[in-house]
Amino acid sequence: MAEVAEVVKIGLTGIPGVGKTETLLKIVRRLEEKGIIIGGMVTEPIIEGSQRAGFSITDWKTKKQGVLAHKDFDSELEVSGYKVNVEDLESIGVPAILDAIETCDLVIVDEVGKMEMCSDAFIDAVRKLLDSDRCVLMTLHKKSRHPLLQDIRRRDDVRIIEVTKMGKTILYSQIAPVFEEYFAKHKRM
């Protein structure tokens, strides 16, 4: 990948289940080992039995956790059979993003997707992040036509990279060094 002069902002996209979050987390762990301060939010599947029942949401820095969505949650907001818990998104995810803008070297957002689009506060936090001078690593829903996702795809300062089952290991080894180079030049490593 090319030499890095500007703040690095990368969006990982791909079909559901391809490994976007797995790729993001591998990059994050490698950068944390190098002393990079990382914050933001991560969503991961909630597995009950052998079935995915929902998604958790975690503040990466504080490890505070909640439920983003669940099949059995009581909510009128539903995406792909999951009831969305906007309260935890706005009390855990949004503050995690906003705090990371102020206190971290790299801000992660997993995921900018259909469930998260149920919250105007989340949308505003992502817009603030993208307009900030922080490095960004996020995962993006591949097919959503939500205005926020359309805006992210059109931005000149965000590099969109597609994750595939075959290419996710290669991507990790290509993306992590881009951030490492940036932070080395800016004395954060």
SS3 114: coil
Instruction: For residue 162, give the DSSP letter.
Output: E
Q: Are 104 and 132 in contact (CB under 8 A)?
A: no
Joined tokens for residue 46: 């909630």
Residues forming beta bridges with residue 47, ordered by sequence position: 52
SS3 55: strand
Please work out, in degrees rounded to the nearest 5, the angle formed at the alpha carbon of residue 182 by the alpha carbons of 139 and 18.
20
Confidence of residue 1 (pLDDT cuts 50, 70, 90): very low
Mean pLDDT of all residues in 45-59: 95
Question: In angstroms, rounded to a whole number, what is the distance separating the alpha carbons of residues 86 and 108?
Answer: 19
CA 166 to chain centre: 21
Instruction: For residue 91, give the DSSP letter.
Output: I
Question: In angstroms, rounded to a whole number, what is the distance separating the alpha carbons of residues 163 and 111?
Answer: 14
CATH number for the region 9-185 comes to 3.40.50.300
Mean pLDDT of all residues in 167-186: 91
pLDDT digits (tens, 9 = 90+) for 78-91: 999 999 999 999 99
Backbone angles phi, psi at 49, to 5 degrees: 70, -120
Question: In angstroms, rounded to a whole number, what is the distance separating the alpha carbons of residues 41 and 56?
Answer: 10
Whether the predicted pLDDT of 189 surpasses 70 = no
Whether the predicted pLDDT of 93 surpasses 50 = yes
Q: What is the pLDDT of residue 4?
A: 46
Domains of the chain, by residue range, sit at: 9-185
